[in-house]
């Protein structure tokens, strides 16, 4: 199987969400899943599409606040490792139930940490979080390190494809983000015979992402819509 990977580096918060949504809109044109690694040009927090803005703004001091195109809770982006995984509608990942695709993405991350000699576990059940903060509790199949959640994700599945947006709050051990990213690629190559090709956004994708920044993710009408 052939997958694409993109390392975007550090981008503005609105640009990060816009590019993920643009990838979802265009992934059927690429015909292959895309794994994207990215960071944040400034501290920020994203929150789930269905959350109420008035509750979110009182639950975190991080700014800016950006509503994600996916569900889930409040995610701090001040020291995390962020990724997205986008799948076209004719790919087998798109046919999975939400719980199964959630489990599978975290098993992938678990195997990447194992490759780096870090033992983690998938959460067997839920633990409620306070005020919708993603990393203060955990959901079934979240990734735990010594009982604490270190990886969570949110999903959006529609006729265009599947978008998974995930965050790693790295454990305090001596590995770098680059180590983890390389392990993610290596695990997929070893366990699933994935052939990786580096991907760069073309003009159409860049233009759509820029439009999403201007008309959606930088607009209070969208961020505060609920």
CA distance 151 to 83: 11
Query: 153 near 134, Cβ under 8 Å?
Result: no
- Using DSSP's 3-state secondary structure scheme, residue 91 falls into coil
Query: 75 near 17, Cβ under 8 Å?
Result: no
Give the residue among 92, 78, 79 at the shortest CA–CA distance from 33: 92
CA distance 24 to 199: 15
Q: Which of 11, 125, 126, 134 is catalytic?
A: 134
Token pair belonging to 154: 């949110």
126 is catalytic: no
Give the residue among 117, 109, 80, 122 at the shortest CA–CA distance from 184: 109
CA distance 77 to 13: 9
Catalytic residues: 134
């Amino acid at each position: 199987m052939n997958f694409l990977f993109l390392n975007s580096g550090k981008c503005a918060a609105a640009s990060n969400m816009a590019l993920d949504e643009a990838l979802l809109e265009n992934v059927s044109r690429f015909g292959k899943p895309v794994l994207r690694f990215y960071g944040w040009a400034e501290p920020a927090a994203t929150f789930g599409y269905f959350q109420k803005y008035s509750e979110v703004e009182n639950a975190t001091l991080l700014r800016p606040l950006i509503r994600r195109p996916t569900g889930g809770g409040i995610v701090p982006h001040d020291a995390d490792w962020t990724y997205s995984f986008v799948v076209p509608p004719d790919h087998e990942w798109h046919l999975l139930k939400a719980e199964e695709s959630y489990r599978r993405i975290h098993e992938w991350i678990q195997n990447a940490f194992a490759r780096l000699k870090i033992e983690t576990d998938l959460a067997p059940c839920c633990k409620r979080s306070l005020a919708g903060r993603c990393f203060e509790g955990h959901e079934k199949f979240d990734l735990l390190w010594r009982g604490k959640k270190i990886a969570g994700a949110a999903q959006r599945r529609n006729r265009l494809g599947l978008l998974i947006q995930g965050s790693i709050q790295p454990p305090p051990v001596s590995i770098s983000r680059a180590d983890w990213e390389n392990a993610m690629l290596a695990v997929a190559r070893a366990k699933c015979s994935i052939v990786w090709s580096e991907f760069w956004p073309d003009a159409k994708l860049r233009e759509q992402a820029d439009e999403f920044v201007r008309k959606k993710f930088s607009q209070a009408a969208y961020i505060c819509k609920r």
